[in-house]
């Protein structure tokens, strides 16, 4: 079921390093609106690769943008944005779903038992976006189900939950873009 026109959400998906964030940033600049960048990357002390990835993303963004680090409670962050008109880039949903899955997860637990909590968290973000009609949103995510099947139950649960989250966002979005090898295809 497609969302009626007038949706305030653009959804961008694709593989790793396919150009998703660059497209989101380009669309944000083209909008001419003040931009709030909602970064969902959790802090992983001692991980130099993650620190470098965050640094490269920051350098690409215009200095005039407001960055809000929101690895958890993304719905609360969305609700707390200043009054619009403005544009918010959520980068990225895939990291947020990972955070939802791992929050409270204990080794040996059945990760699929967390599906209700994860999807409730995703639904809360969609509801918050829907309620903020004064804000345009661009959400970036990853397609993780096109590769090798993860060899652990936790990895498979993450792949499945992100697939469900991506479907929910895509159904809600006014426009959906797929990026592959730096090329974009508009799906909706």
DSSP-assigned states of every residue in 36-100 = EEEE-PPP-TT-HHHHHHHHHHHHHS-TTSEEEE-SS-HHHHHHTSPSSSEEEEEE-HHHHHHHH
Catalytic-residue membership of 57: yes
Given this model, what pLDDT does residue 1 score?
35
What is the pLDDT, as a whole number, of residue 3?
Answer: 42
Say what the pLDDT of residue 111 is.
97
Residue ranges of domains in the chain: 9-186
Low-confidence ranges of the chain (pLDDT < 70): 1-6
Strand, coil or helix: 31: helix
| pLDDT score at 76 | 97
Instruction: Please pick, among 57, 79, 156, 184, the residue that the annotation labels catalytic.
Output: 57
pTM of the model: 0.90
pLDDT value, residue 135: 98
pLDDT on residue 4 = 46
**The pLDDT of residue 11:** 98
CA 84 to CA 81: how far, in whole Å? Answer: 8
Looking at 3.30.70.20, 3.40.50.2000, 2.60.120.460, 3.40.50.300, the CATH number of the domain 9-186 comes to 3.40.50.300
Q: Is 110 exposed, middle or buried (0-12, 13-18, 19+ CB in 10 A)?
A: exposed
Q: What is the pLDDT, as a whole number, of residue 6?
A: 58
């Amino acid at each position: 079921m497609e969302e009626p026109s007038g949706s305030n959400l653009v959804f961008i998906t694709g593989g790793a390093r396919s150009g998703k964030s660059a497209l989101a940033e380009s669309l944000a600049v083209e909008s001419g609106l003040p931009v709030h960048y909602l970064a969902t990357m959790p802090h992983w002390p001692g991980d130099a690769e993650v620190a470098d990835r965050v640094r490269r993303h920051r350098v690409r963004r215009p200095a005039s943008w407001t960055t809000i680090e929101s690895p958890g409670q993304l719905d609360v962050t969305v609700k707390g944005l200043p009054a619009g008109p403005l544009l918010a880039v959520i980068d990225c949903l895939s990291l947020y779903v990972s955070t939802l899955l791992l929050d409270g997860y204990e080794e040996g637990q059945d990760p699929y038992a967390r599906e209700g909590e994860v999807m409730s968290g995703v639904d809360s973000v969609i509801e918050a976006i829907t309620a903020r009609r004064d804000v345009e949103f661009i959400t970036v995510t990853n397609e993780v189900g096109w590769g090798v099947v993860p060899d652990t139950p936790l990895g498979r649960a993450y792949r499945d939950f992100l697939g469900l989250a991506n479907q929910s966002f895509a159904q809600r979005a006014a426009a959906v873009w797929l990026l592959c090898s730096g090329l974009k295809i508009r799906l909706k």
